[in-house]
Amino acid sequence: MSDSISITFWGVRGSYPAPGQTTVGVGGNTACVQVRVPDHLIVLDAGTGIIALGRALVEQQRTNQNPITATLLFTHTHHDHTQGFPFFNPLYYSSTTLYVFGPRTLHQDLEKVLASAMLPPVFPITFDQLPCVRVMRNLNEGEVIVLDHARREPRVVGDSNAARQGGAESVRIFAQRSYAHPQGVFIYRIEYAGKSVVYATDTEGYARGDQRLIRFARGATLLIHDAQYTETEYADPASPKQGWGHSTWQMAVGVAQAAQAQRLVLFHHDPEHTDAMLEQLERDAQAVFPNTLLAREGMTIDL
């Protein structure tokens, strides 16, 4: 059995989609990241990037005849992280099974929030009309999702230490609630075969670094971190972005350095940032933390 983790970026923007000639290189779809480990497909967020992922999964199903089974993790339910969900093609196949996890938002269950985006008159098909099998659960901080080898259904363990005592072939997904974004957000850490991926989107830095996030990301093989704003935009006296729940690349690099992460991917790009601007930002970040990459649609990283 392979011990690799494969990460593919299907949507890398924040706030709203940004298609066009000046964004074609980096991509214009909103947040969606695929993580493949042996026997399991994990999808992080359902921005508009999940639409192309859904098409690819359906095409694979037609080729290999295997039903689609995936674990879908929501960081939060702001529009740019959910707007692709109703257009995710596997939802419309009865052979599909989705295990969906995410936080409550303003005391509303995850299922209720997703269903509300598909109510008439704004969408022609209601949530309860979807033919796929959906197993949905609100996740609490401290609970761990465990994906076992050759077992389709995830199990939730209430104790982090107990989760780490399972078999070496299991995948473990840890969740930490961050309040460095309006209404809060979950940060996920996926561990498998001695490797780890931390997905920290929609988070804002603190003076001397976000210490809880630094501890959570300690030693990560790959850290995916929000880097929506430049320092000029973040502290612009006329229109400051402080308190909006997003970071600069300097904040992302600071977390990567303090957490001793091996690699950093800058994520959740501002929709107004062009390819040229983002590529310069990448070079600036690499000058400080060489193992930095800009998240680009279609990019795959194998660990």
pLDDT digits (tens, 9 = 90+) for 84-101: 999 999 999 999 999 999
Tell me the per-residue pLDDT of 7-41, one tens digit each, with 9 for 90 and over.
999 999 999 999 999 999 999 999 999 999 988 99
Supply the pLDDT for residue 151. 79
Q: Is 193 left (phi over 0), alpha (psi -120 to 50) or beta?
A: left
pLDDT at 162 (0 to 100) = 60
The confidence score (pLDDT) of residue 169 equals 77
- Residue 294: predicted pLDDT: 98
Per-residue confidence (pLDDT) for residue 2, from 0 to 100: 73
Contact 148, 99 (CB under 8 A): no
Q: How many CB atoms lie within 10 A of CB 172?
A: 18
Given a cut of 70, is residue 66 above it in pLDDT?
A: yes
pLDDT-based confidence at 1, cuts 50/70/90? low
Residue type, 154: P
Give the Cα separation of 258 and 174 in Å (integer): 20
Domain-wise residue ranges, the chain: 6-302
Spell 17-55 as b/e; 16+ CB within 10 A means b.
bbeeeebeebbbbbbbbbbbbbbbbbbbbbbbbbbbbbe
Asked whether residue 166 carries a pLDDT value surpassing 80, the answer given is no
86: cis peptide before it, omega within 30°? no
pLDDT tens for 94-144 read 999 999 999 887 677 899 999 998 999 999 999 999 999 999 999 999 999
What are the pLDDT digits (tens) for 185-228?
999 999 999 999 999 999 999 988 999 999 999 999 999 999 99
Whether residue 175 contacts residue 163, with contact meaning beta carbons closer than 8 Å, is answered with no
CATH number of 6-302: 3.60.15.10
Q: Is 82 left (phi over 0), alpha (psi -120 to 50) or beta?
A: alpha
Model pLDDT, residue 165: 60
Q: How far apart are the C-alpha atoms of 281 and 108, rounded to whole Å?
A: 38
Confidence band of 282 (pLDDT split at 50, 70, 90): very high
Q: What is the pLDDT of residue 158?
A: 85
pTM: 0.96
Is pLDDT of 163 > 70? Answer: no
Dist CA 7 CA 36 (whole Å): 6
